[in-house]
A = this chain, B = another copy of it.
């Protein structure tokens, strides 16, 4: 419970209705979607105007209070888990789309706007905002920037950072920093939007974000290819790219995931298949027709048992519902679901699939694998029960082994889930001691008291 004088200070900024400190209220903000211990904050504040963010940040800095900004709390690496005695700032009420500019193809938004709602609003104006993280129906755009959220369309359309044109944010003193522009080209000063992306709330508190929008593809075609052999499926992925086709989405599901999804929602999936590829090509209608035909041919050349082409919108929706069901279906099976996102160059996916099979066997664990095969970003998902200490120990060993494999293949620890609290101990293995020290010096200069989302990325190593 926070001290009364302090609560008064927060109330003076956001109003008494928007400050919470009772345990029953703060508990809801003590965890996120990562499998990590929860930590209840001392205070939760809910600003209703972005201007209040500056005053909140300055107040936290004055008192040395840890400040964690929280959008929807869907983070998978503990980025939204607050610090003991700290402050959680909710962005839910900062949910205005400030401008959708059709002539200049950009949008300005507050940080609490929900991703899918924004994408739908953009679509209703005839434009396209491609990033589609799995949590898009609840995740916020501020959170997406803080984590550089990815999604299914990464291969062809890129990730959140590829749409970030400008940002304004409050520094620890509560002063407003502005960088980037409403123009595609802007080199006025350091690329601070580039620095804010993936910074996990550790370098500033976002005030307003400018995103690039693009014209939507005119047509799309979805397909489901069924394989008897996981390696045939993963080799197909490389063959499609080698044919110079960049599908909008190119997703993979292994047999375990297929069966679990089919059990979750009777979807009529081929439960005896070793693997499925779910593929969508998009663009000009003529290009879509050609590419769909080529993709079908490539799948068959790689021993696909069948390639089902979606006949209509309903059929297409069914294909993608199966993919979207993967995580909830798997998560339903066991008390604890560890969703990893180690990423490899896509030509190494066959090798990664073999490694995952080996790791699953070695540590006697159930691993369901699905994910964004097209950009090498698989989601091996370990199903377990954290209360089973012996098994949990094996899970930790398996995660280490997955990271070792990904790095040995020229990949990365995290494609889209972030480092947060969960992976900071692995950072040096992928980068270098000098990288950690460089980041540490930068962080320290921009947040001398270490109040901005402490412990995330490399902050745990701050002296």
Contact = CB atoms under 8 A, between A and B. Distances in A.
A195 B198 contact: no
A198 B245 CA distance: 31
B188 A413 contact: yes
24 contacts: A103-B238, A103-B242, A103-B345, A106-B345, A126-B244, A155-B184, A161-B191, A171-B438, A175-B437, A183-B376, A183-B412, A185-B415, A186-B343, A187-B198, A187-B418, A189-B427, A189-B457, A190-B439, A191-B198, A195-B195, A204-B438, A283-B284, A442-B442, A442-B445
A183 B345 contact: yes
Nearest to A244: B215
A104 B431 contact: no
A442 B446 contact: yes
Contacts of A177: 431-432, 434-435, 438
Given A185-B377, A186-B412, A444 B442 contact: no
Contact of A199 (B191, B287, B445): B191
A158 interface: yes
Interface in A171-187: 171, 173, 175-179, 181-187
Given A188-B423, A189-B458, A444-B445, 4 more contacts: A185-B412, A187-B198, A187-B414, A192-B435
Contacts of A423: 188
Number of identical protomers: 2
B375 A184 contact: yes
Contacts of A246: 214-215
Nearest to A458: B189
Nearest to A214: B246
Contact of A287 (B286, B434, B444): B286
A453 to B, nearest CB: 13
B446 A441 contact: yes
A47 to B, nearest CB: 19
A191 B192 CA distance: 10
A88 interface: no
A347 B103 contact: yes
Interface in A349-374: 372
A183 B178 CA distance: 29
A190 B183 contact: no
